[in-house]
Structures are given as structure tokens and as C-alpha cells.
Amino acid sequence: MSHRAGQVALVGRPNVGKSTLLNRLIGQKLAITSHKPQTTRHTILGIHTLPRGQIVYVDTPGIHKRGDKAMNRYLNRAASSALAGVDLVVFLVEAGRWNEEDELVLERARQSRLPVLLVVNKIDKVKPREKLLPMLNELARRTGLQEIVPLSARTGENCERLEEQILARLPEGENLYPEDQLSDRPERFFAAELIREQITRRYHKELPYAVTVEVEQFQERPHLLRIGAVIWVERPNQKAILLGRRGGALKEAATEARKALERFFGKKVFLQLWIKVKRSWSSDQAALAKLGYIE
């Protein structure tokens, strides 16, 4: 049996479940998730090595039309540039929902001139299940794509079938990365993302897009990891929201972030967090680059 290896871009509008699917396929949490759109801000490689081959998933920010800030432009560029150099595009949509942003992603996928596999996520929410087949037929008509895999990234339903479909479409060849490697991102990156995930989840109504995290200290010892990070916000009142009464809100967020970091790194973590204000950082191209938003 031939051995296959290649890169696969996971694309879709915000909040269709790309990061949840990546984590499910890899079998480990690599990408942070929340109910808020645009939680994913960077492309992340997730490397899954199987007996018959190696699939390198490229998780991307959601392609969207909203907003004209430097951050929005960065997210769209990062998602579009991820299509360069991959072997297959996996286009995610949400069962029962289609809007102009899905149309935009479809257009980008067509422009890539790459093979496209359509994945319909969140089928666990389709009730009764008899509604699913007409949905799939309508999507095939609308997109012109006949290769469709319905699944639930949340429950894992049909995810193995997707992986089989992907592997069959990759070129024959040797592994692109060592068998034990899971991603191309450094540990500092994942530390910053896990901290931001907790903040995004806790303050999803107040300031989901005005926060970024910069890890300034990352010291690894045999049984302890020391992490010091700055939480950047855009206005003083946002800092006050994060701090809470007598700093109580920040302490709670830090506790949850520390637990998430310990699960990820498999060791005790000593975490220190500071909040600083950098006005309008999400609208400033130079500030974005300094904070790590570089394609």
C-alpha cells in the first residue's frame, strides 16, 4: 500500500469549527476555541502521522467581510496565503447555514485551482436527521462540489471517514515532518494562545477582539514551567474590566489559564500576568507586527 504525505488547508468563515476539527483530527488540543468568531488569529500546522501516511493540517483564521482594521486585513491575508503550497483544500461550512462569507470562501477556494473537499460540520445539531440529505443536495447544487463529508467535529462523528478521504487525495511520498512532531509552532506560542483563550471565553461580551497576549518569560525546569505574560488591551477601561474588583477577575482568569497550561505541557506551571494598555493596537500595522501578527 502506498505511503502518502501532504498539506491540507482547513478554510471557512469564522466560527464554523475549523479549530475544533483540527483538535479532533490530531487527537490533542492545538488550536484554541470559543463561541466568538475570529478566535483563531494565526495559521497553525497540526501534524498527524498515520501508518499509511502523514497529513499536515493548516488551520486558518476565518475568512470574513466584517471590519476594515489592520487586524481584519491580517486575518484575511493569513487565511488566503495558507492556500499557497497545499495539496488539498478542506472547505468547512455549518449544517443549515450559508451566507455571503461562505460564498467568499468558496470563491477563494476556486481561485486556488486546488482540489476542494466540502465538509459540513455540526450535523449533530440537525434535528430530525432526515433534514440532512436535502441540505447536502442543496450544498452540492450551490457549490458545484460533489465530494461532501458530513460530520460533527464536537462529537467526532464521521471524522475518521474525512481523514480517509483526505489521505486518498494526497500525493505519494515520504513524511514531511518527524513522526513525533505535532506542530511547527514554538511552546511560547501555545502558552500565549491558551492564556488568550481563557480571557476570550470569560469576557466574550466585553472585549473579545481588544485583547492579545505576549509571553515575555518562558523558563523550563524539570518539574516546573515559569511563564510571565503581558495581556495587551486598547483602553484603560478594558484593563479595569480584566482586573475586576481588587484584581479578583484577573486572579480567576489566571487560575483557569494555569490549569490549561498544566494540562497542555504536562507539568506544574507558575504563571504571572500583567495587563498593559497599547492604544488601538489592532488598528496599527506596526503594533500588530511587534505583537507577532506576521504572515
pLDDT for 66 equals 62
pLDDT for 107 equals 92
Q: What is the pLDDT of residues 12-67, one digit of tens each?
A: 988 899 999 999 999 988 887 777 666 777 888 899 999 999 999 998 877 766 66
95 contacts: CB under 8 Å, gap ≥ 6 = 120, 121, 122, 123, 125, 126, 132, 135, 150
What is the extent of the structural domain holding 212?
A: 187-290
Residues 159 and 212 both lie in one domain: no
Percent share of the chain, pLDDT over 90: 62
What CATH number does residue 27 fall under? 3.40.50.300
pLDDT for 68 equals 62
Instruction: Note whether residue 98 is domain-resident.
Output: yes
Instruction: Note whether residue 181 is domain-resident.
Output: no
pLDDT for 270 equals 97
Domain ends where: 169, 201, 226?
169
Q: What is the pLDDT of residues 184-197, one digit of tens each?
A: 889 999 999 999 99
Percent share of the chain, pLDDT over 70: 94
Q: Which of 204, 203, 190 lies closest to 262, judged by CA?
A: 190
7 contacts: CB under 8 Å, gap ≥ 6 = 56, 57, 58, 85, 86, 87, 88, 176
Residues 222 and 114 both lie in one domain: no
Instruction: Note whether residue 266 is domain-resident.
Output: yes
Residues 165 and 193 both lie in one domain: no
Residues 196 and 165 both lie in one domain: no
SS3 assignment, position 188:
helix
pLDDT for 146 equals 86
Rounded CA separation 237/157 (Å): 43
Domain ends where: 169, 203, 226?
169
pLDDT for 37 equals 66
What CATH number does residue 283 fall under? 3.30.300.20
Cβ(245)–Cβ(176) below 8 Å: no
- Residue 67 zone, left/alpha/beta (φ > 0; ψ -120 to 50; rest): left
SS3 assignment, position 96:
coil
Tally of domains in the chain? 2
Which residue's entry shows cell 475586576? Answer: 244
Strand order in the sheet with 212-220: 212-220, 224-233, 268-277
Instruction: Note whether residue 295 is domain-resident.
Output: no
Residues 210 and 165 both lie in one domain: no
Residues 145 and 214 both lie in one domain: no
What is the CA angle 255-20-196, rounded to 5?
A: 35
Residues 46 and 107 both lie in one domain: yes
Residues 156 and 203 both lie in one domain: no
